[in-house]
Chains A and B, each alone.
Chain A
Amino acid sequence: MVVKHTGLDRLILALNAIFLTCAVLVVVVPLVYIVVASFMDPTVLLNRGLSFNVSDWSLDGYQMILSNPAMIRGFANAVLYSVSFALLTVTVSIFAGYALSDERLAGRGFFMIIFIITMFFGGGLIPTYLLVRNLGMLDTVWAIILPGAVNVWNIILSRTFFKGVPRELKEAANVDGASEMKIFFQIVIPLSKPIIFVLALYAFVGQWNSYFDAMIYLDNSNLHPLQLVLRSILIQNQAAPGMISDQLAMAELKRLSEMIKYSAIVISSLPLIIMYPFFQKYFEKGVMVGSLK
């Protein structure tokens, strides 16, 4: 059934289209800049601005990055860390969020406060590092995915989502004799695809773009994820300590580092952009509707 629009509606929809187009433009122009900049010599770029003239282009930036053997390892590591992290944190958050959304759970408020406190107060880097070290997790994948697996924001979000699941649904299943476990896994979860995939996407991307935990806990450079590798490549082109007499070459390296900046962005974002459409279909309409019937 198609919805009938009033005159006012049509106007609003037209404005909607215009705003969205503007929004896209505002977003796209700088993005185009980045992509083209990644192919350009920074000196030319800064002097003459963007050029679509292919003869002004060079692949130096990409070459520097892709010829580095650590890149492939970094890529594989990043995939491993991001996938396992997403799986773990989404599971933990969804479970906890569901439990906290159920009013029959005694002490809900209490547990909530326990979680919220950790958002504001914490021991800081050193005690956490000591703990990870004493648990023998240094230089392992666990140091990356365990400490951050509990994300209170995600728990709260999923709790909010589950609160929106109609009670009647659960009660009806209960009447039919289903156990708590069955209700959760066979009814509620399938309905929760949107929140699950949103959290998974946020978690994956967050982990993909992070480098700090890897930097702190992973000594072995074979375990370094993509972002950390890129950072090393970028930094290597900046000032080295105490070398007075190499100014000319330093200047050249700074120039390369400027160029690599953009290429690095493109390389590290590409997988994410490719991956995104697969997640997207779960955000579409009508997921819950079917189950109500």
Chain B
Amino acid sequence: MKKVSKFPKAVTTTSIAMLSTMLLLSACGGGGGGAASEAQSPDGKVTLNFITQSSPLAPADPNDKLINKRLEEKTNVHINWKNYTSDVFAEKRNLAVASGDLPDAIFDAGYGDYDLLKLAKDGAIIPLEDLIEQHMPNLKKVLEEAPEYKSMITAPDGHIYSFPWIEELGSGKQRIQAVDNLPWINVEWLNKLGLKMPTTTEELKEVLIAFKTQDPNGNGKADEIPLSFINKPGGEDLTFLFAAFGLGENWDHTVVTDEGKVVFTAADKGYKEAVQYIHELVKEGLVDVEAYQQDWNTYLAKGKDNKYGMYFTWDKANITGMNDTYDVLPPVAGPSGEANVTRTNGIGLDRGRMVITSSNKNLESTAKWVDQLYDPLQSVQNNWGTYGDETQQNIFEFDEAKGMLKHLPLEGAAPVELRQKTSIAGPLAILDSYYGKYTTKPEDAAWRMELLDKVMVPHMKAENVYPSVFFSIDELDRLSTIETDLFAYVLRMRTEWYQNGKVDQEWDAYLKELDRLGLQEWLQIKQAGYDRNNK
């Protein structure tokens, strides 16, 4: 049977042709359609292409939000949004950059410091300080009013590469972020057992023992959990209590002495004593057995059932509700007789909120549009929600006379959903001075800040915190590499010590291991960063 011998040859030639075309095609890096818009006159109507992220609850096209519609009218700039849901955004954003399909700008970019510096180094994003100087009076005003932010958003090479998000809720010791893991104690049980609010660590231990043995919930079963927490750095950790023994502990293990020296909390003498104290509590059976592995939902479930004598979280409303069963525990005094509250180093600043790419040919229009976001009334709306919307519930009402936005009562609507549907987030600035002038404070924030001011601030001994330093690329690389192993080791060891109490015996070996994992280098880098920042 004679088969057509031309056939295989034809196949071979076509395949080779196809393959070579493919090869050429695939090597093409950028330019595939070019997502940045062409140059347009800033005086006419300009169209820009941004990519952004939002919650799946929000409208798929951000231009459907009232705030964006009003912005477009005001600025005569139309934004073409490519909007991704938050779960896929990081990948999509990275791919857009990696494939060379850069849009004009990336809004709500979520870039960390390392990303910003890397992108700047690669030339994917551009420096912004000239644009700010020439076209952005609102942002300039913000930076003049609060100059500490200027140095915070400036990279080590002197350039500003991104537009920040700033949300001040208190400053200095009164910042709302100063303490994240507040302790809440069951005052109902205290009253039932006729006990007073404990003021020292020893009294606290007695109270917890009483919770365990005297059946305060009156059901005849010893099912009370005197103390519970989630063993992970964060708002549910019990490290609030460490402050009773010295410098205390926070989630990045960093405190600064009054002389300006950076200290690693987990190597400090007070830390050792604190861990020993916790072990005593564990030994008495006062600590939730599940603390070392439970997640938020398990923690929440037991909390809702009011099983806890004492627990930790940002705001008791999350777990046991906004009622009087639990109240905040004022800081207790340790063996030294003094109480202390350790501050976290968190502030309401997000550097990499928005970047302008190097493909942008409409810099002036873009800068002017972004500047609108820093207008005080605009910032407030972008962050929380708007007024005067006839189609859905409003977060605010606008007081024309005072030029001020007032929070409206929510009447049961889930605030998060409402905000995600109406606010646009992005770069903005809300300074402390705005409260009472341009806007009222959100209720839950106001409540918490008052609480902190009354109960915690008076006991904060440290004058310094660690500022938001903008490290260099190499420093960031080293820090992240060291921290991966170092922090994990610290957490593991103290968890073991809570249970076996061997902190004294193993302390020296522990310190040696910390050094092996790079502690000294870490301290050096952080100290250098601190000194630079304070010049």
Contacts and interface: CB of A to CB of B under 8 A. Distances in A.
Contacts of A216: 91-92, 95
**3 A-B pairs with least C-beta separation:** A46-B301, A249-B416, A251-B318
Contacts of B84: 219
Interface string A120-139: 00000111011101110000
A176 interface: no
A46 B416 contact: no
A245 B445 contact: yes
A258 B442 contact: no
A240 interface: yes
A244 B296 contact: no
B444 to A, nearest CB: 5
A245 B442 contact: yes
Interface in B308-350: 314-315, 317-319, 322, 348, 350
Contacts of A134: 25-26, 28, 32
B57 interface: yes
A227 B215 CA distance: 48
B64 interface: no
A236 B56 contact: yes
B26 A131 contact: yes
A248 B98 contact: no
B302 A244 contact: no
Contacts of B249: none
A232 B57 CA distance: 10
**Most chain B CB neighbours (cut-off 10 Å) among A135, A240, A245, A247:** A245
**Most chain A CB neighbours (cut-off 10 Å) among B29, B32, B87:** B87
B85 A244 contact: no
Contacts, number: 126
Given A129-B99, A241-B425, A236 B85 contact: yes
Contacts of A254: 296-297, 300
A46 B302 CA distance: 8
A258 B305 CA distance: 17
Contacts of B28: 130, 134
B315 A47 contact: no
Interface in A235-286: 235-236, 240-255, 258
A219 B55 CA distance: 15
Given A247-B444, A254-B296, A235 B56 contact: yes
Given A236-B85, A242-B350, A248-B415, 13 more contacts: A46-B298, A47-B304, A134-B25, A219-B92, A232-B87, A241-B350, A244-B167, A245-B415, A245-B442, A245-B444, A248-B315, A251-B317, A253-B414
A248 B82 contact: no
8 contacts: A42-B301, A46-B302, A129-B98, A134-B25, A228-B88, A244-B167, A248-B318, A249-B415
A10 interface: no
A49 to B, nearest CB: 11
B108 A241 contact: yes
B95 A244 contact: no
Contact of B445 (A47, A133, A244): A244
B413 to A, nearest CB: 9
A240 to B, nearest CB: 6
B1 interface: yes
Given A241-B110, A250-B416, A254-B296, A127 B317 contact: no
B371 to A, nearest CB: 21
Contacts of A108: none
B19 to A, nearest CB: 12
Contacts of A247: 314-315, 317-318, 444
Interface string A22-56: 00000000000000000000111111000000000
Contact of A258 (B22, B82, B95, B297): B297
A236 B88 CA distance: 12
Given A130-B29, A236-B56, A244-B348, A253 B416 contact: yes
A215 interface: yes
A231 interface: yes
B466 interface: no
A236 B85 CA distance: 8
A233 B99 CA distance: 28
Nearest to A235: B87
A221 interface: yes
A246 B419 contact: yes
B91 A251 contact: no
Contacts of B82: 219
Nearest to A45: B301
Which range holds the interface residue count of chain B? 35 or more
B85 A251 contact: no
Interface string B19-31: 0001001101100
A43 B306 CA distance: 12
A254 to B, nearest CB: 6
A215 B88 contact: yes
A216 B317 CA distance: 39
B317 A248 contact: yes
A20 B109 CA distance: 53
B60 interface: yes
B80 to A, nearest CB: 13
**Most chain A CB neighbours (cut-off 10 Å) among B92, B300, B322:** B300
Contacts of B298: 46
A130 B99 contact: yes
B283 to A, nearest CB: 27
B425 A246 contact: no
A228 B187 CA distance: 46
A179 interface: yes
B230 interface: no
Interface in B1-47: 1, 22, 25-26, 28-29, 32
A129 B297 contact: no
Nearest to B321: A248
Contact of A240 (B86, B297, B301): B86
Interface in A39-82: 42-47
Contact of A252 (B56, B169, B414): B414
A250 B296 CA distance: 12
**Most chain A CB neighbours (cut-off 10 Å) among B86, B108, B297:** B297
**Most chain B CB neighbours (cut-off 10 Å) among A127, A129, A133:** A133
Contacts of B420: 240
Contact of A235 (B1, B85, B177, B319): B85
A254 B25 CA distance: 46
Nearest to A259: B297
B1 to A, nearest CB: 7
Contact of B416 (A135, A233, A240): A240
B99 A133 contact: yes
Nearest to B28: A134
Given A129-B95, A236-B57, A255 B300 contact: yes
Contacts of A251: 300, 317-319
B211 interface: no
B242 interface: no
A245 B95 CA distance: 32
Contact of A231 (B87, B165, B300, B445): B87
Nearest to B304: A43
Nearest to B95: A129
